[in-house]
Every structure is written in structure tokens, then in C-alpha cells.
Structure 1
């Protein structure tokens, strides 16, 4: 399976530099990539508003549900450093019920960045799951 992860802030730069080795996704309801990303999958990386500029392999993924503030704080303590997010995010994440942790490997900058067509996925979506990323290339 292939995925496109849309990133905000400086997270993409941190992935490219090797500082960020775990991608996290937090949601109030079940949605991709929750239970839909697996070891060996490929993730294409793009900055919000920009083209896809890199890809990486999924090394491992973990899924958590029925979260509360204490469990969120625990996850941030355990995995926050590799995810480049700190415990100060506990309050911002309060109310999120689902978490996906994705270990990233083999991060490679693409020689030819490309845009994608998000039609059918929703303008605000931050994660796209597809059989073949070529189907959504522009």
C-alpha cells in the first residue's frame, strides 16, 4: 500500500534531517492511517500546499484507541522525542481518542517532486491511502 502524508510546520524538514523518526497521527474518530498502515508500506511526504518531495518506508506501526489525558501524556513521554513533540502537547491533544505511531525508515528526497490531485479525498485531508500513488499524480 502507498500513502501520502501531508505535513505542517517544520516536521517535513525534521524527517529529512533524521531528527524525526516517528510520525504520529491523532484523531477523534477512526480514520487513515489508523489500522491502515503496515510495515513495508511506502509513504510519500509533502508539505501542506507544496509538492510531494520525499518518500520513506514504514518500519513499524502501533495503534492506540480509547485515549484519555493520562494515556496521551504517557505516549508523549515514551515516543515524543522521536516524534519531535513534547508533553506540552497533552492539552492540545485532549479529546483525541485514536493515535497512530509510524516508524519511518529509508527516507529519500525525490529527484522529481510532483503535485497530487486530492479530488475525492477531501480538501482538508492530511493522509491519503492509495494502491498506487501514480493514480493521483498531476
Structure 2
């Protein structure tokens, strides 16, 4: 979805202030992977916004940005995330396919910082 341009915003929703909340910055390079697959895409951060969420803010963000986030079922997504406390929206640019590689994730996190 990211490579073909239908998903232009990466989103993270959490109960706690975990990465990438207030950590990621414009123009940083991020690596992306589909669930259950190897890392295969690279992108640059065009813009990033952080939110302290309420149920109404989650609904607003899903309604406004849902398609660009790649949400197929907005109501189901809202129900799953309505109680989350922190949100990060990351607008992507310069998206490119790269030679895939594996990454070992720890602690069930969907986000890793590589320095």
C-alpha cells in the first residue's frame, strides 16, 4: 500500500508514550515492513504530528485521515483504538523499494530505533 501510493501516512496508536511518539522528526529515514514479512521499503518523513488522544480525537483522525492511513473499515479501527492515549501520524515521501532484510524485534514493539 505504501509503495503504490494508496497509504501515505504511517500511524501509531498507543496507551503509553512509546517510540515513535515525540521521538521521530521531519526528514528522518524510516524502514517499513508488512506484518509477517521482511523490511522491504524505505521512506523519508515529510511531516509528523503527535496527539494526546480522546475518543473524539481518535474518531476525528480516523475520519479525516483514514484512507491515507490505509484503513479499510473505519468503524472497526475506531473501536479498536478509541481508548488509546497517544497517537503519531507520519506523512511519508520518497518511498522506495529496497532489497529486503530481516530484523529481530524485541518486546513486541512495532517500532525500532537504529542509530
**TM-score where L is the length of structure 1:** 0.76
- The equivalences for 1:111-122 within 5 A come to 112-118=99-105, 121-122=106-107
Equivalent in 80, 83, 91 of residue 103 of structure 1: 91
RMSD: 1.3
Deviation for aligned residue 1:87: 3.3
**Alignment length, in residue pairs?**
113
The residue number in structure 2 matching 1:44 is 31
Structure 2 gap segments, 5+ residues each: none
**TM-score where L is the length of structure 2:** 0.90
Runs of 4+ in 1 over 4 A off after TM superposition: none
Contact map agreement 1:46 1:54 (CA 8 A) in 2: yes
Does residue 125 in structure 1 map to residue 104 in structure 2? no
SS at match of 1:15: coil
The separation in 2 between residues aligned to 1:81 and 1:113, in whole angstroms, is 26
The separation in 2 between residues aligned to 1:61 and 1:23, in whole angstroms, is 9
Deviation for aligned residue 1:129: 1.2
> For 1:28-68, what per-residue CA distance to the aligned partner results, in whole angstroms no more than 9, with x for missing partners?
01101101111110111122332211100000000001x22
Q: Which has the larger radius of gyration?
A: 1
The separation in 2 between residues aligned to 1:75 and 1:99, in whole angstroms, is 9
Contact map agreement 1:63 1:101 (CA 8 A) in 2: yes
